[in-house]
Amino acid sequence: MDSVLKKDLSKVPAVTLGFWIVKILATTLGETGGDALSMTLSLGYLVSSLIFAGIFAVAVAVQIRARAFHPYIYWLTIVATTTLGTTMADFADRSLGVGYTGGSALLFALLIISLAVWRRTLGTVAVDSIVTAKAEMFYWVTILFSQTLGTALGDWMADSNGFGYERAALVFGAGLAVIAALYFSKKVSHTALFWAAFILTRPLGATLGDLIDKPIEHGGHNIGRFWASAALALFMIALVHFLPQKTDNRPGREKPA
């Protein structure tokens, strides 16, 4: 009976190659979309963050209240975390003067605290264990921290370290390739690898988004943020529609570290 209940309540998609492709698109869209409001429309980071926070709150509420997995609701919530993460990180790094290094360190600490509290409360942070409203709340809070951290990491690598958007994207892409190779090792926790990959896809998307929409003199291609966001959204919707979107119905297990 327990396994049937878990199957019915699972609202998180199985982690497949298609999942990661859509995730990278969502993070890239989050960067261009967040910049479109804060920079192109000149709303500023704080006002844009408040707007995206409202969208995020509504999306999470709908996702948690849903009785079954709905791909469009899930990925809309993911996009809401990426846009909010973009403007919140920019607000902390630039408006508050925390800086990319300080912002990254602070957000990393918050992410670790979120994972630690989640694990202590529910016993596991494995994705296939998210079958209750409480687990979903931990999941979305942790994702929001990871998306915000990813934005700060992307800016830190591209700007503070002078890598530029293209080379920074290559660095994060190489990091993801290493994680993918480690997946086939039986000695590494798949849960740890998932969260590491989830974090790294965000700075990859952030640097790709900046590469698309930043001015040419700043190393970008100067493609309009709204046009870029619309194209990314349409591509993402097409993938969500055509790629298999199934939940992982196994009981939550965490492979040993």
Q: Where are the alpha helices (DSSP H) in 66-132?
A: 71-90, 99-122
pLDDT of residue 251: 44
Separation of alpha carbons 26 and 91, rounded Å = 20
Place of tokens 């969500």: 240
pLDDT of residue 3: 40
pLDDT of residue 9: 60
Other CB atoms within 10 Å distance of the CB of residue 9: 18
Q: Hey, what are 182's tokens?
A: 């480690």
pLDDT of residue 67: 86
Place of tokens 């529609």: 241
If 0-12 CB within 10 Å is exposed, 13-18 middle and 19+ buried, where does residue 42 land?
exposed
Residue-averaged pLDDT of the chain: 88
pTM: predicted TM-score of the whole model, two decimal places: 0.89
- What is the residue extent of each domain of the chain? 8-242
Range from 97-101, 165-169, 245-249 carrying the lowest mean pLDDT:
245-249
Number of residues written out for the chain: 257
The torsion angles phi and psi of 57, rounded to 5 degrees, stand at -60, -45
pLDDT of residue 252: 42
The answer to whether 195 touches 119, Cβ cutoff 8 Å, is no
The answer to whether 219 touches 211, Cβ cutoff 8 Å, is yes
Separation of alpha carbons 93 and 184, rounded Å = 37
Helix (H) or strand (E) holding 193: helix 190-213
Q: Per DSSP, what are the bridge partners of residue 13?
A: 247
pLDDT tens figures, 136-183: 999 999 999 999 998 899 989 988 778 899 999 999 999 999 999 998
What's the average model confidence in pLDDT over 175-199?
Answer: 90
pLDDT tens figures, 35-53: 999 999 999 999 999 999 9
